[in-house]
Chain A
Amino acid sequence: AQSVSQHNHHVILSEAASLELGCNYSYGGTVNLFWYVQYPGQHLQLLLKYFSGDPLVKGIKGFEAEFIKSKFSFNLRKPSVQWSDTAEYFCAVTEGLNTGFQKLVFGTGTRLLVSP
């Protein structure tokens, strides 16, 4: 079965530090990749997604992620974090070409705390 690994469960950074959150998935076929974020007290929101094309994907709030097929990875990056980025981040995957059907497989999440 498809699985997603997020190796960092808790990350603590100071404002202006750079961020990279790891995400690896297990499926060898065509995949669609997502990063979701949940700010405290809010619902899960889509940060960015990759379906095809340029493997470097830019999302909202200055986040980007790079799809490296050979490494089965889709790491999330931000060059300079802000206190408002404090949240839990989830990597997720769906299989196949039908991007209209999104049965997501999630990682366990990474809690990011940014200190001012």
Chain B
Amino acid sequence: EAGVTQFPSHSVIEKGQTVTLRCDPISGHDNLYWYRRVMGKEIKFLLHFVKESKQDESGMPNNRFLAERTGGTYSTLKVQPAELEDSGVYFCASSQVGATGSPLHFGNGTRLTVT
């Protein structure tokens, strides 16, 4: 079974530029989550999709962040325009809907550096 795939693994951009992160969940996993870890801090929830619908986006920092999951398969997280404080590691995770105790499967993360 292929795991959760994230692309790119690293991205270095300048303040004010736009970056799009991609996540391919495990096939058949309708739950998809985005998390972020700023250096030295805890991993924080950003948002949750069930299929193509946003279930909970309470963790999104501000309107510079836009997440989409068209067709309920892969998801993208766009940051526009990027600011220095957006630097960190962005994790994607997926799980099955309705399976009690279904664990989250995480990707390797995308390390974003904004200079």
The chain A residues found within 8 Å of chain B, CB to CB, are 4, 36, 41-46, 49, 51, 90, 92, 99-109
Using A43-B4, A43-B107 as known contacts, say yes or no to A104 and B45 having CB atoms under 8 A apart: yes
Q: Which B residues touch A43, using CB under 8 A?
A: 3-4, 105-109
A44-B106, A102-B103, A106-B43 are known contacts; what are 16 more A-B pairs with Cβ within 8 Å?
Answer: A4-B42, A43-B3, A43-B4, A44-B93, A49-B103, A92-B43, A99-B100, A100-B101, A101-B48, A102-B95, A103-B33, A103-B48, A104-B45, A106-B42, A108-B40, A109-B43
**Cα of A51 to Cα of B31 in the assembled complex, Å:** 19
Task: Produce 1/0 per residue, B23-59, CB < 8 A to A.
Answer: 0000000010101000011111100100000001000
The chain B residue with its CB closest to the CB of A105 is B45
Q: Which B residues touch A44, using CB under 8 A?
A: 91, 93, 106
Distance in angstroms from B60 CB to nearest chain A CB is 13
**Cα of A66 to Cα of B108 in the assembled complex, Å:** 28
Could you list 24 examples of A-B contacts with CB < 8 Å?
A4-B42, A43-B108, A44-B91, A44-B93, A46-B104, A49-B101, A49-B103, A90-B43, A99-B100, A100-B95, A100-B98, A100-B102, A101-B31, A101-B48, A102-B95, A102-B102, A103-B33, A103-B56, A104-B35, A104-B45, A106-B42, A106-B43, A107-B42, A109-B42
The chain B residue with its CB closest to the CB of A41 is B108
The chain B residues found within 8 Å of chain A, CB to CB, are 3-4, 31, 33, 35, 40-45, 48, 56, 91, 93, 95, 97-109
Identify which of B91, B101, B108 contacts A51 (C-beta below 8 A): B101
| Chain A to chain B: the 9 pairs with minimum beta-carbon distance, closest first | A44-B106, A106-B43, A108-B42, A43-B106, A46-B103, A106-B42, A43-B108, A99-B101, A102-B104
